[in-house]
Amino acid sequence: MNDDLKLTLGWIADAVRGRLRAGDPLREVGDIVSDSRTLAGGDFFVALRGPRFDGHAFVGEVLERGAAGALVEAADTVGRTSPKPDGEGGSGPRLDGVIEVGDTLKGLQDLAHAVRMSVTTKVVAITGSAGKTTTKETIAALLGDRFRLVKNKGNLNNHIGLPLSLMQLRTRPDVAVMELGMNHAGEISTLVAIAEPDVRVWTNVGDAHLGFFASVDAIADAKAEILERARAETTLVCNADDPLVMARAARFVGRTTTFGVSAGAAVRASDVEDRGLHGMRARVVTRSGERQVEVPLLGRGNLYNVLAGIAVALELGVPLDEIVPRIARLQPASRRGAVRRLRGITLVDDSYNSSPSALRRALDVIAHDTEATRKVAILGEMLELGPHAVWLHEECGRAAAAAGLSLLVTVGGAPARAMADAAVAAGMSAGSVRYFETSDRAAAVMASHVSAGDVVLVKGSRGIRTDIVADRLAAEFA
């Protein structure tokens, strides 16, 4: 028997406090979609407004294609995009299934919250400046054999993506693992109100998006919105080694459990061995016992992500003896530190995104590698750092010089050039540092400057598109 949560037009109208203009309130709908291109017959369309599009322009089209209905803003149902019900004159498309609200984004969020509150799924929500996706994937891997589980679709983790991801709760999974993204104050608060998480995971506070905040302390305050709307039975899993996290976690009203390497952490790593491109080895100490773990993911940052995953799995009743072998099988998410051993070179593709703290951790991994003939880093500019951009890139340039690189390539605007100059000032020879304005240009040139035995790190903000460089190297050395 299919026990999925059935959504009808009437149920949706009640959930969003909207008005069903026409149609059968008992009609069931399929998927909830905001992209008209993905809509199938029977789906329900949410007409969102964005900087480059307005979904209201497609309402008539999706209804003609068989959509069960659409969520629209009331003002638009009397304007140029207005569909008309039978019997009201005109030749426009039918109004069957059209639900009017004042704000379709708020309506989508209200609908997601109503779905979430209609099921018994335990929701795990993750925030932090770095490691959210890896922590999400780790938690899912550690829980997946024991629970029916859903997680964010792709990187849908913001004020639109999270509500769309939460629609998966209609299948009544045991657990939903959701990352919460933000780059401005107030955004995590909105997401917490939608998701009402049972378990909140706070990985760290770093310098990502610093351009939108006055300080790292202000970033910590924004991340601390993960603590809101908690109850006594709500659990917080947080980083014992991050003082900015712990200072704010003290006000959490629910239960708190910690992870880290410090003595007081509830899930603690000891005897940590950094194995470079082979990952990490450590002894994990918990209240359920101690075990040796092999972590195939790279660097200390990922060790912390795994410790967070262990803490969540233990909270949800997974035995430690089930957790340990699953850790050894973990794989990095796409372009997030994936090690590709190609014909003659080893490519570390970390091109999905970057921040100063994450870049320093990646360089530390390269510094610990003992097998490379040469160590090469191709580093894109880190965006959203505002007035802090130049000095933070200079810090990373000095870190690159300290990592023992044979060749450093920076890509982007003035901050990327500042990173290159700082590396030279810190001791790298001018001939071993190169700068390019675009990833296309860097890819074209660097394919002939990488040779057998090299370990090549590629990392940068998404907007710089260092994935182009990674793909070119992968093709050249396939």
pLDDT at 80: 39
pLDDT at 33 over 90: yes
pLDDT at 433: 98
Retrieve residue 255's tokens: 């239960």
CB-side exposure of 58: number of CA atoms within 13 Å?
20
- How far from chain centre, in Å, is Cα 44? 26
pLDDT at 154: 76
Sign of the CA dihedral running 221, 226, 230, 233: negative
Rounded CA-CA distance 165/177 in Å is 10
pLDDT at 315: 97
The residue among 328, 356, 381 that closes a domain is 328
Rounded CA-CA distance 334/134 in Å is 10
Task: Indicate which CATH number applies to the domain containing 344.
Answer: 3.90.190.20
SS3 state at 318: coil
For range 363-382, the mean pLDDT: 94
Instruction: Describe the crossing of helices 439-446 and 467-476 by its angle, rounded to 10 degrees.
Output: 20
pLDDT at 167 over 70: yes
Pairing of strands 199-202, 149-151: unpaired
pLDDT at 78: 36
Asked whether residue 355 falls in the same domain as residue 469, the answer is yes
Rounded CA-CA distance 466/70 in Å is 39
Burial label, 89 (beta-carbon count in 10 A; 0-12, 13-18, 19+): exposed
Q: Is residue 158 part of a domain?
A: yes
Asked whether residue 343 falls in the same domain as residue 320, the answer is no
For range 274-288, the mean pLDDT: 95
Q: Is residue 114 part of a domain?
A: no
Rounded CA-CA distance 136/181 in Å is 12
For range 445-450, the mean pLDDT: 93
SS3 state at 195: helix
Nearest to 152 by CA among 141, 140, 143: 140
Residue 374 belongs to what domain range? 338-476
The residue among 73, 103, 133 that closes a domain is 103
Banded pLDDT at 194 (limits 50, 70, 90): very high
Rounded CA-CA distance 240/283 in Å is 17
Asked whether the whole model's pTM tops 0.85, one would answer yes
Asked whether residue 307 falls in the same domain as residue 362, the answer is no
- Alpha helices by DSSP H, listed for 280-368, are 299-315, 320-328, 356-368
On average, the pLDDT of the chain sits at 94
The residue among 328, 350, 385 that closes a domain is 328
Asked whether residue 297 falls in the same domain as residue 399, the answer is no
pLDDT at 75: 73
Asked whether residue 165 falls in the same domain as residue 277, the answer is yes
Asked whether residue 368 falls in the same domain as residue 281, the answer is no
The model's pLDDT over 385-410, given as tens digits with 9 standing for 90+, comes to: 999 999 999 999 999 999 999 999 99
The model's pLDDT over 52-99, given as tens digits with 9 standing for 90+, comes to: 889 999 999 999 999 999 999 987 653 334 444 444 444 455 689 999
Asked whether residue 304 falls in the same domain as residue 252, the answer is yes
Rounded CA-CA distance 204/238 in Å is 8
First to last CA, the chain: 48
pLDDT at 210: 87
Count of structural domains within the chain: 3
Q: Is residue 113 part of a domain?
A: no
Asked whether residue 465 falls in the same domain as residue 354, the answer is yes
Q: Is residue 277 part of a domain?
A: yes
SS3 state at 157: coil
The CA-atom distances, in angstroms, between 111 and each of 7, 198, 199, 390 are 10, 19, 21, 43
Asked whether residue 344 falls in the same domain as residue 323, the answer is no
The model's pLDDT over 306-362, given as tens digits with 9 standing for 90+, comes to: 999 999 999 999 999 999 999 999 999 889 999 999 999 999 999 999 999 999 999
SS3 state at 412: coil
Rounded CA-CA distance 24/95 in Å is 11
The CA-atom distances, in angstroms, between 259 and each of 43, 169, 262, 286 are 42, 28, 8, 9
Asked whether residue 297 falls in the same domain as residue 355, the answer is no
Element housing 257 (H / E): strand 255-260
Q: Is residue 417 part of a domain?
A: yes
pLDDT at 384 over 80: yes
For range 444-453, the mean pLDDT: 93
Largest Cα–Cα separation, the chain: 80
Asked whether residue 54 falls in the same domain as residue 171, the answer is no
Task: Indicate which CATH number applies to the domain containing 145.
Answer: 3.40.1190.10
pLDDT at 2: 61
